Structure 1
Amino acid sequence: MRIIAIDYGTKRTGIAVTDPLQIIASGLCTVNTPELLPFLQKYTATEPIEAFVIGEPKRMNNEASDVEVQIQKFIQKLQEAFPTIPIHRYDERFTSKLAFKAMIDSGLKKKQRQNKALIDEISATIILQEFLSGRK
């Protein structure tokens, strides 16, 4: 069964997923946030999911970020839609910076690095990979 990571944003949400053996995290896509729940319902209809991992944005002083209110509302809807699938939170403080660095390191051109949807997807992948590493 797979694990899905969600890098929730008010406009766009990055999604990453593990392989069925939960060894490797890969970027899946970025969806417009209003379409997130329908996307997940469609995806889980064809792929068995063990858990959701949702990024937890915090400020440097450990306070919750402004988007946390919307994330909590989304988590409520997610729990209602998938009552049997556990939801984990993961500190995502540096994932956008790490995603941007990964894009530079992989040789993406400046125009490609400005693609915010790609940054969101890579951020979700980093959240998921770090979550997997923490479980070992």
Structure 2
Amino acid sequence: MVKILLKRIYEEPSEADGYRILLDRLWPRGLKKEDAKFDEWRKEITPSKELRQWFHEDKDRHWEVFQGRYGMEIKQNPDFIPFLREIEKHPVVTFLTAAKDVQHSHLPILKEVIEDFEKNKS
């Protein structure tokens, strides 16, 4: 099973990060493309534009519902299984976001869905 780490894109990369994937629909503010250190950018596995905008209206109030809605979006996303197959090729993968609070972003939700999927697969 792949080890998944979560980080902000603005943090310095480390060798322990393994394969680094930017998982934001929008390009991170203030970051020049030539300065960004990641292996691939996967917008299609991020929350939909509508869900992201709704969540940002009131993050504290919407957090619990957002977790459930994004979890459903992931499971219904036709790009989810190909994404899983891709990350399984790497022993360590770091999911990157520009969100200030990584633990209250979409990354831990995606990580949990992947881990649950992997557990139920075996």
Whether these two folds match at TM > 0.5 is no
More strand by share: 1
Larger relative contact order (CA 8 Å, sep ≥ 6) = 2
More helix by share: 2
